[in-house]
Amino acid sequence: MIDLSIVIPTCNRADLLERSISSLCDDVQCSFEVIVVDGASEDRTGEVLASARKTLGGRLTVIREDRRDGFVRAANKGFRAGVGRNMIWLNDDARPLPGTLDAAVRQIDDAAADVAFLAMFHRYAAQKNVAYHTMHEGREYRLCHVRGTLYANFPIGRRETYCSLGYFDERFYFYGADPDLSLKAWHAGLRVEPAYACYVDHEQHDDDRRAQDNSVGREDNQKLFAKWDLPDKNPYRNDFDPSRPCTLRGLHPLRSPRVTFLLSTYNRREAVLNTLGQLRGLQSLPDFVAETIVVDNASTDGTADAIADEFPKVHLLRQCANRGACAKNVGLAQAKGEFIVFLDDDSYPNADSIRRMIKYFEADARLGAAVFDVVLPDGSHESSAFPSVFIGCGTGFRREALIEAGGLPDDFFMQAEEYDLSLRLMNGGWRVQRFADLRVQHLKASSARQPARTTRLDVRNNLLVIARRFPRQWVRPYAIDWMRRYRWIAQTKGWRHRVAFWRGLFSGLMKALVPSRRQSVSAKAFEQFAMIQGIRSRMADAVAQHNLRSILLIDVGKNIFPFWLAARGLGLEIVAVADAKLARSGRQYRDIPVVSDDDARLLGFDAAIITNISPVHGPKRTEQWRSMENRPVLDLFEMPQTTELSVAA
């Protein structure tokens, strides 16, 4: 990766642009790229860029706009196109002095993790709002502040910092953009520091374009002061105080947010706007304060702009690429709430559920995740296949637990990320528990959903969960079971899903071969998840209570293996597995035929045992079978347990 991306918005300033690019070619020694965003120039800017390409070659990227849309939008286009590990923007009438950008790269590389930007000392004509000034070669260079807080002029920062802060707020046209970006950094707990011995000559060239921008700039300042609730300026003195950074009224609310609603989105504009409308009423209720963070995964349908316009209080983080559901990690780094609620862009809770959630966390210091009951538009419910795995469209977390566990797995994109994080939470001693009285509405918006991709990622990521988190003795049996099950599911959906299955299996195997990513959980955490010993002890109780010799298993669920293992250990005959969706002629689970519900009822067995442990689908299957079968239909987790259970630490 190159050291620095330099973004230069321009329009009809060919001579200035030529001098600026020439200075970069002559003076910068680190690896860099130049991204020029041309606002539909009508002068000889095209010739200047063609000439520059002869010198810069592939290091020059030109983005030409159909019309000039303002500095802020142009700069953001450049930021999103940049690939350098650090980024900086320059005006087309600004020229860094020799050695400046190389020194700035070295300083940002050495800076602490909480330093967002380094501010360049620059030529600044006005005498007001000066934070620092210094003389260099007989000329004065300055840094600026806004109502006492240092902000970054021509800021150099790490690429991930620009991404996480969402670049420039596109409600601004020009003048409010850089102080606003810096204030966002302060508000996120980051700092802005001077870039020492780094100087930029800024001509502040007076022409028709600058005159036009000045009129719009007054509106920008009004937006800036309204957004941050900035105090009035002291007319008698310079109110910059480096010992008291970030003392602005708007940066610290009277009460810190107790709850952070965190969601990511991609090209689902109407769905996310509806969700934010539902959350608006939860922003500042009398008994708790909430904040909302939306991570936009580089949407192309106007989602981010619509959020910024309609919900200015929402903390919007614009990304330069689609990182899927795991992009929530970007928002997690900036969340201030004591409790973090994960939502989908089409799901939302009510206030009473949030109040009850807070009480559950206050009552149990080891509760790491409170899983909501998810209600679909038709009134039905959904949940994870495992009781101890949260569901991404509606779960509250204790922030301490979420940070300690490390957040979502960045390389998953989507699918099975809940399994990976749940196992890490349990491994850290935190409990993951579902509460039936916590409700979240999930609209299941269909746009941007790609079923074949979902199949591929389901296969790949579930295989990675097994390879990375399961204790070694359980890796092989669960990998065989889960991959067989996903293959059967793909076969019911058509050839695209069959192809997706094999693609997911191959990519999962390749990633699973990286030994450095394997960090298996403890036996205690895995038992909490899979309940292998718990199922055996409960089945032993059922055998004693009902004098069982032969059983029917119901559903080839994700956790059927402990039921099969327990039955074999207790000497039970398993006559078949009944599955309403996956039954096929000749299909077998570990040499046991998989048959339809109707065919299963014709077989001889002492009792049917539900293997589906999903909090929603398990009880539903129990009810179905009890309504049509006179023989015992046992849900082992309905039964009081008498057998003593011991779990290794």
Domain ranges of the chain: 4-228, 259-442, 451-522, 531-634
Q: Sorting pLDDT into bands at 50, 70 and 90, what band is 460?
A: very high
Alpha-carbon dihedral of residues 474, 476, 477, 482, nearest 10 degrees? Answer: 110
| 200-214, 242-256, 295-309: range with highest mean pLDDT | 295-309
Predicted confidence (pLDDT) at residue 98 exceeds the cutoff of 90: yes
Mean pLDDT of 514-535: 92
Q: What is the per-residue pLDDT for 600?
A: 96
Q: What is the per-residue pLDDT for 643?
A: 45
pLDDT digits 0-9 by tens, 583-624:
999 999 999 999 999 999 999 999 999 999 999 999 999 999
Q: Which of 274-278, 280-284, 465-469, 566-570 has the lowest mean pLDDT?
A: 280-284
DSSP at 575: E
Q: What is the per-residue pLDDT for 383?
A: 93
Taking the model in full, what pTM does it have?
A: 0.69
Mean pLDDT of 393-403: 94
| Distance separating alpha carbons of residues 435 and 425, to the nearest angstrom | 17
Q: Which fold has domain 531-634?
A: Rossmann fold (3.40.50)
4-228 matches 531-634 in fold: no
Mean pLDDT of 487-503: 94
- The answer for residues whose C-beta is within 8 angstroms of residue 618's C-beta and 6 or more apart is 610, 612, 635, 637
Helix (H, G, I), strand (E, B) or coil at 436: strand
Which class does domain 259-442 fall in? Answer: alpha beta
What CATH number labels 4-228?
Answer: 3.90.550.10
| 89-93, 250-254, 400-404, 527-531: range with highest mean pLDDT | 527-531
Q: What is the per-residue pLDDT for 639?
A: 55
Tokens of 178: 């850089």
Q: Give the CA distances from residue 422 to residues 48, 93, 408, 469, in Å, rounded to whole numbers and listed in that order.
A: 56, 53, 9, 10
Tokens of 638: 């309905």
Q: Mean of the per-residue pLDDT values for the chain?
A: 89
Tokens of 248: 């602005």
- The answer for residues whose C-beta is within 8 angstroms of residue 71's C-beta and 6 or more apart is 9, 173, 174, 177, 213
Q: What is the per-residue pLDDT for 42?
A: 93
> How many alpha carbons lie under 13 Å from residue 31 in its C-beta half-sphere?
7
Q: What is the per-residue pLDDT for 213?
A: 61
Q: Sorting pLDDT into bands at 50, 70 and 90, what band is 282?
A: confident
pLDDT digits 0-9 by tens, 531-555:
999 999 999 999 999 999 999 999 9
Q: Strand runs (DSSP E) across 400-452, as ranges? A: 431-442
Going by DSSP bridges, is the β-strand pair 394-398/431-442 parallel, antiparallel, or unpaired? unpaired
Q: What is the per-residue pLDDT for 233?
A: 74
Question: At residue 117, what is the residue type?
Answer: F
Helix (H, G, I), strand (E, B) or coil at 61: strand
pLDDT digits 0-9 by tens, 123-146:
876 677 888 888 899 889 999 988
Q: Sorting pLDDT into bands at 50, 70 and 90, what band is 203?
A: low
| 209-218, 519-528, 637-646: range with highest mean pLDDT | 519-528
Q: Report yes or no: 459 and 505 within 8 Å, Cβ to Cβ.
A: yes
pLDDT digits 0-9 by tens, 319-359:
999 999 999 999 998 888 999 999 999 999 988 999 999 99
Q: What is the per-residue pLDDT for 645?
A: 44
- The answer for residues whose C-beta is within 8 angstroms of residue 625's C-beta and 6 or more apart is 554, 597, 608, 610, 633
Closest C-alpha to 274, from 348, 374, 166: 348
Predicted confidence (pLDDT) at residue 35 exceeds the cutoff of 50: yes
Q: Strand runs (DSSP E) across 123-258, as ranges? A: 130-136, 139-146, 149-150, 156-158, 191-202
Q: What is the per-residue pLDDT for 558?
A: 95
